[in-house]
Amino acid sequence: MAHIKFALPLAFLSGISGTCAFANSELPNTQGFIENSRFDVTLKNVWMINTNNQLSEAGIGDQKAWAQGALLDYQSGWYRDAIGIDASWYSVVKLYANKDFAGRDLLRDNNGHAEGFNKIGQLYAKLKWEDEHAYARLYAGWKQLYKFGTLSVTRSRAAPSSWQGVSLESGLGDLSARAAWVTRFSERDEPEKRRFYTLKTNKPIDYIVTGDISWSPDKNTRVSWLAGESDNYLFRQGIEAQFTLPLAEKESLLLRSAWYYNRGLAEWEGARGFTHSAQHIFALMGYQYYAMESGVAWSKTKAPLDNGLGHFYWHMGKNTRGAFNSPADGEGNDYVNDNEQMIYWYGKYVLSPELTTGIFANYGFGAKYQGVKLNQWEYGGFIAWTSKAVSGLSLFAGFGPSYSWKLVKGKPWLTDDKRDFHRSHGLGGGITMEYKFGLHNQ
């Protein structure tokens, strides 16, 4: 079956190669549409592991998966500097998967069997207008929306996710604004294009609308307001800010902060995360000195849930992926439970233009379940390498242990005397090797 898995990507590649040949021929020009097009190929090899035993009572053990992805991205030029079409094809091949592979979101889960898949990841028309001071770009079709209002996609797996809908990006001077209206979503580990549904009763959600407005007077300063609603189900808004304050020639102070607010609407069922509303806030202070950077952050969450431990649910319904730019979204644990506070520390050092290494640690405390205090933590390290000899070749590896509480039917598993909880622990991490190359007609 391997030749079938790659047949369509190779056909896509052949078609683009023909387009490039056409662009370089003496045929009549297309006023930028083909002449200024580009085609990129990204090969991603991803291996991930999670040995945490948090779900051992449900029979879920170690989660391991290994996949090879091939991402083919075509971007047309702008016909008469106004109109274009972009397309992406994603192909993922299974290299290895154990019984509980699905938790790593790398391969398609076909009734418990791991499979590779192919899909059209992006296909959209684009329209733009711009002058010296302002611009506007309109997109319609399947597109990645990365940290776009209250929505986002994942790019850390073998294939990224994408949304179907209409989006607008515009700017005037120091101000920029974006908006999107979407109706379906395609996840990172499957080819299906899925509608949105409510979390408990699986009622259809017709659409999600979202947007943001940002002020950025320079590359070191950005303040954004964002908002979004899944049709009559969930409303979210937030404020994000980041500043870099130069102290000397190669010395800077880093400041980041965000506040997010969730509110259930008429169709909200209070079945996951919180009963009526939830809030999350964080603040980070960092310091850069030459090739070294370090920082500390604090966060707190309020998410009351009747008859359970609440948490800040940051997606917009079933078959969606929300944006959440907080260090409380940890590598192993999520530190967003009701009344939970988190302390986060990180440090990284640029050893050379090619190699960066770093360490991190999270500690969460303050959450309670049936009067029992809960705490969790994790720590780890990573290396990131980018080749100077081979353009587009990179490697990332990160590992570390995490400690939390075991779950039974989605709730913390307390000891028989109801004075403590059963501790979960394990190791998580992954390795990603990526090679990207492209053809550009300019």
Q: Are strands 407-408 and 393-405 parallel, antiparallel or unpaired?
A: unpaired
Q: What is the DSSP letter of 151?
A: B
Predicted confidence at residue 271, as pLDDT, reads 83
- Residues 90, 121: contact at Cβ < 8 Å? yes
What secondary structure letter does DSSP report for 148? B
Confidence (pLDDT) at 1: 45
Q: How far apart are CA 346 and CA 353, in angstroms?
A: 20
The CA radius of gyration of the chain, in Å to the nearest whole number, is 23
So what's the pLDDT on residue 40?
97
DSSP per-residue letters across 157-213: SSS--EEEEEEEEEEETTEEEEEEEEEEEE-TT----B-EE-TTT--EE--EEEEEE
pLDDT tens digit sequence for 85-122:
999 999 999 999 999 999 999 999 999 999 999 999 99
Residues of the chain below pLDDT 70: 1-28, 440-442
- Check: CB of residue 181 under 8 Å from CB of residue 164: no
20 by DSSP, 3-state: which? helix
Among 125, 158, 171, residue whose Cα is nearest residue 33 = 125
Using CA atoms, how far apart are residues 88 and 243, in angstroms rounded to an integer? 35
pLDDT value, residue 366:
98
Q: What's the pLDDT score for residue 439?
A: 73
Separation of alpha carbons 332 and 359, rounded Å: 14
Model pLDDT, residue 431: 98
At 129, is the secondary structure helix, strand, or coil?
strand
Helices (H), 215-367: none
Is residue 103 within 8 Å of residue 428, measured between CB atoms?
no
Spatial CA neighbour of 163 closest among 177, 146, 184? 184
Contacts (Cβ under 8 Å, ≥6 apart) of 26: none
CB-side exposure of 407: number of CA atoms within 13 Å?
A: 15
14: enclosing H helix or E strand: helix 2-23
The reported pLDDT for the residue numbered 441 is 53
Q: Which two tokens stand for residue 360?
A: 């991190």
Strand-pairing partners, residue 333, are none
Distance CA 335, CA 311 (A): 9
Q: What letter represents residue 438's amino acid?
A: G
Domains of the chain: 125-429 (2.40.160.10)
Residue 296 and residue 285: Cα distance in Å, rounded? 6
DSSP state of 104: G
CA distances from 410 to 54, 56, 217, 222, 251 (A): 10, 12, 45, 38, 46
Give the Cα separation of 163 and 146 in Å (integer). Answer: 10
**pLDDT value of residue 137:** 98
